[in-house]
Homo-oligomer: A and B are copies of this chain.
Amino acid sequence: MTAPGSGPTRVVIRGLGEIGSKAARILLRRPQVEIVGVISHQVGEDLGEAVGVDATGLKIVGEPQELAGLEADICLLATKQKVAEVHDEIAWALDSGMAVIASGEEMIFPWAAAPDLAESIDRRARAAGRAVLGTGVNPGFVMDVLPLCLSSACADIERLEVTRASDFSPYGPLALRSLGVGLSPEQFQRDVETGKVDGHIGFDESIGMMARAIGWTIDYVRDELRPIIAKATRTTPHVTVEPGQVAGCEHEAVGYSEGEPKIVLTHPQQVDPAAEDAQLYDSIRLVGVPTIEMEIKPEIEGGTATAARMVNSIGAVLDAAPGLRGSDELPLPRITPLGR
């Protein structure tokens, strides 16, 4: 923990894709943080120019070794989705004395996908005296943190339902492939069976976090991928979808407790939703006492909000007990305009 008055919090950014770039732009406007190192593939570029703002005088490096000896408080890690893919990057940051905030979907609740690696990260974080957190918007907020917060106003909850209907237009070929966009309905079904179409990553993480926080036992999770078939032509910078083809995927996961559906998470994502006036929203329904029905319209845009959630977590992660943490273990989140 950096004591007040001891200077700004020193941040390293690893990964300067969409999320990392947005996090950098937010950080550059916050007075009590300073970006002291950036590792990404735009080697040699000035950080500011690489993210579309004024030059900062800080050059991007390609390899972590080039930051050897740098003193920093925390690393914002915006590289990969899976725990196995970011484990070594987290280990490097911890061994370099930094706390870590990761945006990878599985890192929101790493105990779901990779309990052994989660244990390894936890042990290393405790040894380093630093905390590690995964955060984002989905998973990491709409389908877990926000329903938990709302649940605090309930005396009883029979079932918890969240739907996030979002626009997939900004995404490129690789992401489109994972949703089966542009396929025929028949090919979509075949690709679901072979795993080429795999939809959203994060349901197990959202369900895992909520079950842990509330103390529910979820016996198993069943998921289903349903094609959203275009009735009109859909266009994005990356793809054109003709009527009859797949415009997106409605991915649903249901966590069962004692045979009853306890947590129902539905995530329809599609390209060019305006072409058919498809509504975009985040909705949460807690069926209980009282029943609470919430809607955010339009849905919280994922990119900026994920970067904001990372930056807004800096103070809480620096103050957290050492170890691997979930958002359910940290204080009520909030924007931190000063940087921490």
* Interfacial residues, chain A to chain B (CB-CB below 8 A): 22, 26, 29, 137, 141, 145-146, 148-157, 213-216, 289-290, 292-297, 300-301, 304-305, 307-309, 311-313, 327-338
Contacts and interface: CB of A to CB of B under 8 A. Distances in A.
A149 B151 contact: no
5 contacts: A149-B334, A153-B309, A154-B305, A156-B337, A328-B332
A152 B198 CA distance: 29
B334 A148 contact: yes
A293 to B, nearest CB: 6
A216 B300 contact: no
Q: Which has the most chain B C-beta neighbours within 10 Å: A29, A148, A156, A332? A: A332
Contacts of A215: 336-338
Nearest to A142: B153
A328 B331 CA distance: 7
Nearest to A160: B335
Given A155-B26, A290-B300, A312-B152, A332 B334 contact: no
A294 to B, nearest CB: 5
Contacts of A154: 305, 308, 312, 335
A216 B334 CA distance: 12
Given A148-B333, A332-B327, A289 B304 contact: yes
A60 B337 CA distance: 49
Given A151-B312, A329-B332, 14 more contacts: A137-B153, A141-B153, A149-B332, A149-B334, A151-B334, A153-B309, A155-B304, A155-B308, A155-B311, A157-B337, A214-B335, A292-B300, A328-B331, A329-B331
A29 B154 CA distance: 13
B141 A309 contact: no
Nearest to A213: B334
B152 A309 contact: yes
Nearest to A316: B152
A330 B316 CA distance: 11
Given A214-B335, A331-B328, A332-B333, A153 B292 contact: no
Contacts of A155: 22, 26, 304-305, 307-308, 311, 335
